[in-house]
């Protein structure tokens, strides 16, 4: 599944950005850090100077107050004006970064994605334009749905190919953070936040939910697969397809179990009756995903069997209940899920 051209970027290091907005943030962070370092060094130097220049002259001397100086307008002016100037420089650097990132014009062929945070996974809708609304703004509707693993095309400086993310939450506050791709942005209930990614190298990038959201916050992992345009188009075309019904008798039995135990109340498989609500990840192309439980374990037979027996073994505190399936049913549902390529 992983080719040499598609390295795993497990190193979540914000000091080695590989995306345009992450680079912009990185550069301004370096400027701000250098200014703070200069202030720190000046303060430490002055402190050391005073300590060594005016040592104690004995216990008697320590009891007296040192001479007090009042009313030096030069000193007062200096310690008022210099910090103001430093603050103005810091404000300018920050504002420029914010404007650079928030007001970026997105090109025509930008990939638009809506991500909805849930305890403890990510619902991902790829969007497509659907005419314009009354205000002349493009209306976006869902093209296809997936979960947890965000696939996006790689960009380049000559030919920018950004992905615009629309971030929402179904329950509590989460935060989307892939350090090498952008700063963190919160997903807030009843409020849409936005961010964009413009990755300059292919690979699988690792990230985390960055806002405490409950027992499995630490296992609300993020995986961003940055692919070549060709690979991305191929992946997207497959995600748009309806799953093909398998004829394997074990998988067919698993499909029945899936409905019998109302797995379908929480998980949607396109073509299945509409669920009451999306509580759990869309499983239409479940077998095409590399991980289970939002990055908690690799999506292989062994882990999937374990998940079917009791999801709390791999992810304690996950909101999916133990469905109390028999061992035969566990194997049948596993076989069924593995047909959902
Ligand atoms: Cu979601 Cu922390």
CA–CA distance from 52 to each of 33, 63, 215 (Å)?
Answer: 28, 19, 53
How do strand 297-298 and strand 291-292 relate by DSSP bridges? antiparallel
- CA 124, distance to chain mean position in Å, is 12
Ligand 1, atom 1, lies closest to the CA of 174
**Structural domain count, the chain:** 2
Question: Taking Cα atoms as reference points, which of 102, 106, 151 lies closest to residue 124?
Answer: 151
User: What is the whole-number distance in angstroms between the Cα of residue 108 and the centre of ligand 1?
Assistant: 32
- Specify whether 48 is located in the same domain as 157: yes
70 is written with which tokens? Answer: 């009042």
Q: Are residues 307 and 215 in the same domain?
A: no
Within this chain, do residues 65 and 205 fall inside the same structural domain, yes or no? yes
Tokens found for residue 313 = 């073994």
Beta bridge partners of 308: none
Q: Is 221 in the pocket of ligand 1 (CB under 6 A)?
A: no
In this structure, are 287 and 232 located in the same domain?
no
Is 213 a pocket residue for ligand 1 (Cβ < 6 Å)? yes
Residues 106 and 234 in one domain: yes
Same-domain check for residues 24 and 96: yes
Whether residue 221 sits in one domain with residue 276: no
**Residue 16 sits in the same domain as residue 121:** yes
Q: Are residues 281 and 142 in the same domain?
A: no
- Which of 221, 240, 259 is where one domain is finished? 240
Tell me the CA–centroid distance for residue 113 and ligand 1, in Å.
19
- DSSP state for residue 189 in the 8-state scheme: B
Backbone angles phi, psi at 61, to 5 degrees: -65, -35
Q: Is 218 in the pocket of ligand 1 (CB under 6 A)?
A: no
Domain containing residue 254: 249-337
217 and 330, same domain (yes or no): no
- Rounded Cα gap, residues 260 and 68, in angstroms: 85
CATH of the domain at 116: 2.60.40.420
The pLDDT tens digits along the chain (341 residues) read: 444 446 677 777 888 899 999 999 999 999 999 999 999 999 999 999 999 998 888 888 788 887 887 888 888 899 899 999 999 999 999 999 999 999 888 888 899 999 999 999 999 999 999 888 888 888 888 888 899 999 999 999 998 999 999 999 999 999 999 999 999 999 999 999 999 999 999 999 999 999 999 999 999 999 999 999 999 999 999 998 887 778 888 888 888 888 888 788 888 887 655 545 578 888 888 889 999 988 899 999 999 999 999 999 999 889 888 888 889 888 998 989 988 88
Beta bridge partners of 111: 163
CA of 159 to the centre of ligand 1 (A): 34
- Tell whether 185 and 266 lie within a shared domain: no
Task: Give yes or no: residues 269 and 155 share one domain.
Answer: no
Q: Supply 92's token pair.
A: 């300018």
Q: Quick check: CB of 118 below 6 Å from ligand 1?
A: no
Q: Domain boundary at 194, 220, 240, which?
A: 240
């Amino acid at each position: 599944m992983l080719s040499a051209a598609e390295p795993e970027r497990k190193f979540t290091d914000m000091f080695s950005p590989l995306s345009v907005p992450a680079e912009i943030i990185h550069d301004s962070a370096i400027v701000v850090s250098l200014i703070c370092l200069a202030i720190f060094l000046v303060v430490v130097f002055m402190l050391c100077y005073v300590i060594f220049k005016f040592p104690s002259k004995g216990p008697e001397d320590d009891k007296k107050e040192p001479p007090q100086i009042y009313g030096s307008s030069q000193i007062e002016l200096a310690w008022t004006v210099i910090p103001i100037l430093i603050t103005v420089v810091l404000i300018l650097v920050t504002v420029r970064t914010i404007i650079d990132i928030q007001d970026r014009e997105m090109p025509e062929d930008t990939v638009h994605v809506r991500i909805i945070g849930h305890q403890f996974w990510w619902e991902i809708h790829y969007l497509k334009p659907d005419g314009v609304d009354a205000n002349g703004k493009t209306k976006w509707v869902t093209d296809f749905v997936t979960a947890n693993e965000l696939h996006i095309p790689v960009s380049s400086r000559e030919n920018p190919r950004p992905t615009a993310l629309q971030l929402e939450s179904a329950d509590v506050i989460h935060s989307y953070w892939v350090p090498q791709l952008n700063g963190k942005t919160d997903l807030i209930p009843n409020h849409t936040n936005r961010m964009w990614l413009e990755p300059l190298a292919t690979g699988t990038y690792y990230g985390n939910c960055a806002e405490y959201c409950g027992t499995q916050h630490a296992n609300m992992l993020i995986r961003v697969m940055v692919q070549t345009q060709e690979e991305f188009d191929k992946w997207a075309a497959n995600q748009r397809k309806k799953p093909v019904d398998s004829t394997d008798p074990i998988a067919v039995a698993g499909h029945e179990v899936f409905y019998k135990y109302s797995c379908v109340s929480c998980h949607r498989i396109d073509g299945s009756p509409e669920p009451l609500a999306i509580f759990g990840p869309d499983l239409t192309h479940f077998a095409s995903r590399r991980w289970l439980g939002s990055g908690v374990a690799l999506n292989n037979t062994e882990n999937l069997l374990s998940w079917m027996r009791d999801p709390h073994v791999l992810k304690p505190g996950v909101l999916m209940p133990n469905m109390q399936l028999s061992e035969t049913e566990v194997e049948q549902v596993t076989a069924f899920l593995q047909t959902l390529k």
